[in-house]
Amino acid sequence: MDLTRFRQETNVFEYGSRTLLRRATLTLLTAVLLALFLLFITLPVVSLFLRISPEAFLRSLAEPVVLDALSLSFITATVSTAIVVVFGTPLALVNARSDYAGRELVDTLTDLPIVLPPAVAGLALLMAFGRRGVIGQYLDIFGIHIGFTTLAVVMAQVFVASPFYIRQARASFEAVDRLYEDAARTLGASRRTVALRITIPLAWGGLVSGAILSFARALGEFGATIMFAGNFQGRTQTMPLAIYTTMQGDMDASISLAIILVVISFAVIAAVKVVTRRSA
Amino acid sequence: MLSIHVGRQLRDFAIDVALSVRCGETLVLIGENGAGKSTVLNLISGILAPDRGDITLGERTLFSSAARIDIPAESRNIGHLFQSYALFPHMTVAENVAFGLRCRKVPKPEIAGAVAEQLRSMHLSDLADVNVGRLSGGQRQRVALARALVLEPELLLLDEPLAAVDMRARGAMREELRDRIRHAGIPCIVVTHTLHDVLGLADRLCLIEEGRVATEGTPEEVLGMRENGFIASFIEG
């Protein structure tokens, strides 16, 4: 083997090994970063499960404060999701399908609660519907009080959770090919029938996952609720509020409620994945 | 008899078309892509509204800018076949065919009878409960045609009806289509890009260029105008 060729081959070898080394370092670095991040997310969640025995968990579930919070949360989140769906679906459909002056403004307003801090939302609701609020003062004349009632809990949840459904619904409606709607109309379907029999069924997967996300957001609502509805057991104390309250005395009750919310969160993500995969 | 004279401003040019088609007659529209052929069909079926003009079908005025009449698409009773057929993907073959009858609130037993009969005549009975996503191009075309014909429309608009059909099956499908149109005895407008469709289906032929009728007549007359660049290339395929 002559010297030049030998040099060339050693160079190739050196070059190859250097690339391999660089790639391995990069892979290792990515793996470490990923592992650290996953640890950061999972460790606190796992800690919840490690900090309580199964017996204590079950015992806490029978505590009135836990039971009250559980039932109140499920009822209010269900009602608020239903309200969001009933009002949000036509709104999303109109915004997806028709062009009118002010549509951008309507879109911005419906998105607003996503970026608005919940405490601001709560204060805003109080200023509008509280006893001395812009509308609340007139309701007060008729003896109607909204603030610090279960209705206020629902209103706070609707306020913060509605964008999660409306955004998703609008995107799902936009994804429906207009050709199907045109075809349906030439076959004799009124606009209402087109919406009910064609557009909504074709957007169904997106609507359901939007509703699930909205329900989850309503269930986790804390800031706006405590500002606008207060923190009264059995009336306005939802699960997040009960976690906050019991944490100061009965840690087991607090952790039990937190575990239930963790389980629900996992279920929500799984449900959304299943629904979107099936509709795709 | 269908008679239209409509205008509509599009982004690049204006549609300005006057046409009439007698009962039992098939008018074929040819022209470059984007010349406005499909738009003319959409204006007739009511998916798009003309800026001005008149559309009359038999005794009925479907659109008249002067008289401020604009019958909505769902009340025009026009069978409009789209290029991609637009079969509803969340329904079976039978449900697709039954759709228009259900919109008309026809009693259920009558719907079942009419759908079964239509599927039988289209050789689709075996596929009644199949989801439309699993059909071949030819089967989809027949379902779309069955879905339109079951409503006994007063006019048929077919936008490239054989484009999605397998090459080998096209000849047979074209003959079948011609028989269906003849049998229906109504005016029919077909948009196409192929000479075979013109020769197999057209009673009259019309060339559309930038939204206007460039020339119209019997297929022989129009195809004889070799000096027209589009016609020359159309015949050469």
- Write the ipTM: 0.91
Judged by DSSP in three states, B7 sits in strand
Report the SS3 class of residue A53. Answer: coil
- Which pLDDT belongs to residue B194? 92
Q: DSSP string covering A214-255, please?
A: HHHHHHT--HHHHHHT---TTTT--HHHHHHHHTTT-HHHHH
Let me know if A52 is exposed, middle or buried by CB neighbors in 10 A (0-12, 13-18, 19+).
buried
Over residues A27-75, the pLDDT tens digits come to 999 999 999 999 999 999 999 999 999 999 999 989 999 999 999 999 9
Q: Pick the residue from chain B with its C-alpha nearest to A201.
A: B90
Ranges of residues in chain B whose predicted pLDDT is under 50: none
- What angle, rounded to 10 degrees, do the helices at A251-279 and A204-219 form? 170
Q: What is the mean pLDDT of chain A?
A: 91
A186 Cα to chain B: minimum distance (Å)? 5
Rounded percentage of chain A residues whose pLDDT exceeds 70: 94
Q: ∠A255-A257-A262 over CA atoms, to 5°?
A: 90
Question: Which parts of A132-203 fold into alpha helices (H)?
Answer: 136-141, 150-175, 178-186, 191-193, 200-202
Whether the per-residue pLDDT at A3 is higher than 60: the answer is no
CB < 8 Å to B88, chain A: 180, 183-184, 198, 202
Using a CB–CB cut-off of 8 Å, the residues of A that contact B are: 177, 179-180, 182-190, 193, 197-198, 201-202
Which tens digits make up the pLDDT trace of B25-34? 999 999 999 9
CA distance A198 to B88: 8
Looking at beta carbons, which residues of chain A come within 8 Å of B82? 179, 182-183
Q: Could you tell me if A90 and A83 are in contact, meaning their C-beta atoms sit under 8 angstroms apart?
A: no
CB contact under 8 A, A186 and B103: no
pLDDT value, residue A12: 56
Please enumerate, as own/partner, the contacts of B101-110 that have beta carbons within 8 Å and a separation of 24 or more. B101/B150, B101/B151, B103/A184, B103/A187, B103/A188, B103/A189, B103/A190, B103/A193, B103/B74, B104/A188, B104/B151
Say how many CB pairs under 8 Å bridge A and B: 60
* Per-residue confidence (pLDDT) for residue A4, from 0 to 100: 61
pLDDT value of residue B138: 87
Chain B residues with CB-CB distance to A180 below 8 A:
86, 88-89
* Mean pLDDT (whole number) for A128-143: 92
The fraction of chain B above a pLDDT of 90, given in percent, is 82
Cα–Cα nearest to A194, from B142, B152, B47, B137 = B47
CB spacing of B74 vs A182 below 8 angstroms: no
Helix A251-279 / helix A239-246 crossing angle, nearest 10 deg: 150
Say what the pLDDT of residue A8 is. 59
Residue in chain B lying closest to A192 (CA)? B103
Confidence grade of residue A268 (pLDDT, cut at 50, 70, 90): confident
Distance between A94 CA and the closest CA of chain B, angstroms: 18
C-beta atoms surrounding A104 within 10 Å? 9
Residue B85 in 3-state DSSP?
Answer: coil
**Contact flag A185-B73 (C-beta cutoff 8 Å):** yes
Q: Which amino acid is at B152?
A: E
Quick one: DSSP state of residue B125?
A: G
3-state helix, strand, coil in chain B (%, to 5): 40, 25, 35
A contact test, residue of B44, B75, B88 with most A CBs within 10 A: B88
Q: Which residue has the tokens 């239930």?
A: A260
A272 confidence band (pLDDT: 50, 70, 90): confident
**Running DSSP on this structure, what letter comes out for residue B92?**
B
Distance between CA atoms of residues A219 and B111, nearest Å: 46
Q: Which two tokens stand for residue A248?
A: 């100061």
